[in-house]
């Protein structure tokens, strides 16, 4: 029986830096390293500052240097239906996590997690907001997001094996 894809939503504040990066990285690594997994991936923001905008040029450029393309993304805000649609709703930092937990119906709260829970070796639980910082911030975002994407893929493979 085909249970359909595992639906995963990445969430940050503006949906122009961190969550588009997570979406692009996870999509590329899943296709390359775990093609047997059936995943559906999306991203959203908790704020409406950049609705309809393409990802930040600095995030796109840093991603492109590592082979990730996020150019098709247009920023959107989290909406009520997301809490029904997605099995995993992965926040980039505690502030996004808290906003999501406030917006989520009680039945969906356990599906709202911090993305970096999947990268325990990183020793941090938040992907720092790179928007007002220097270019190194975007490299740090990519490092953390790559680590957590690999951890999440490991988790999903184990889950698929366990049935
Ligand atoms: P993101 O980064 O949440 O990773 O997309 C930010 C984008 C915009 C702003 C803050 C963070 N802003 O304040 O406009």
Please, what is the Cα angle at 38 between 36 and 39, to 5 degrees? 130
Q: Which of 73, 74, 129, 133 to mutate to test the pocket of ligand 1 (most atoms within 8 A of CB)?
A: 129
pLDDT at residue number 44? 98
Tens digit of each residue's pLDDT, the chain (163 residues): 567 999 999 999 999 999 999 999 999 999 999 999 999 999 999 999 999 999 999 999 999 999 999 999 999 999 999 999 999 999 999 999 999 999 999 999 999 999 999 999 999 999 999 999 988 999 999 999 999 999 999 999 999 989 7
Whether residue 112 is contained in a domain is answered as: yes
pLDDT at residue number 15? 98
Whether residue 25 is contained in a domain is answered as: yes
What residue ranges in the chain does DSSP mark as E strands? 6-12, 39-45, 88-91, 112-114
Whether residue 1 is contained in a domain is answered as: no
Q: Atom of ligand 1 at shortest distance to CA of 16?
A: 5
| Number of domains within the chain | 1
pLDDT at residue number 45? 98
Task: Kindly give the distance from the C-alpha atom of residue 13 to the centroid of ligand 1, in angstroms, as a whole number.
Answer: 5
pLDDT at residue number 163? 75
CATH assignment of the domain containing 12 = 3.40.50.2300
In angstroms, the CA 108 to CA 82 distance is: 10
pLDDT at residue number 113? 98
Q: Which of 10, 11, 17, 20 to mutate to test the pocket of ligand 1 (most atoms within 8 A of CB)?
A: 17
Determine the straight-line distance between the first and last CA of the chain, rounded to whole angstroms: 11
Domain that holds residue 39: 6-162
C-alpha 74: how far from chain center:
15
Task: Kindly give the distance from the C-alpha atom of residue 17 to the centroid of ligand 1, in angstroms, as a whole number.
Answer: 6
Residue count of the chain, please give it.
163
Task: Kindly give the distance from the C-alpha atom of residue 12 to the centroid of ligand 1, in angstroms, as a whole number.
Answer: 8
Whether residue 81 is contained in a domain is answered as: yes
Q: Which of 56, 82, 93, 129 is catalytic?
A: 129
Is 94 considered catalytic here?
Answer: no
Residue nearest to atom 3 of ligand 1 (CA): 13
């Amino acid at each position: 029986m085909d249970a359909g894809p595992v639906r995963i939503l990445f969430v940050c504040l503006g949906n122009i830096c961190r969550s588009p990066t997570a979406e692009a990285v996870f999509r590329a690594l899943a296709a390359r390293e775990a093609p047997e997994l059936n995943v559906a991936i999306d991203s959203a923001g908790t704020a409406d500052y950049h609705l309809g905008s393409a990802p930040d040029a600095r995030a796109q450029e840093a991603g492109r240097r590592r082979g990730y393309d996020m150019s098709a993304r247009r920023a959107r805000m989290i909406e009520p239906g997301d809490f029904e649609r997605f099995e995993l709703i992965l926040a980039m930092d505690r502030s996004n996590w808290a906003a999501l937990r406030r917006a989520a119906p009680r039945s969906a709260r356990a599906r709202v997690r911090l993305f970096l829970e999947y990268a325990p070796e990183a020793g941090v639980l938040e992907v720092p907001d790179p928007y007002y910082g220097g270019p190194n911030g975007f490299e740090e975002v990519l490092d953390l997001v790559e680590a957590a994407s690999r951890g999440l893929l490991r988790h999903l493979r184990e889950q698929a094996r366990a049935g």
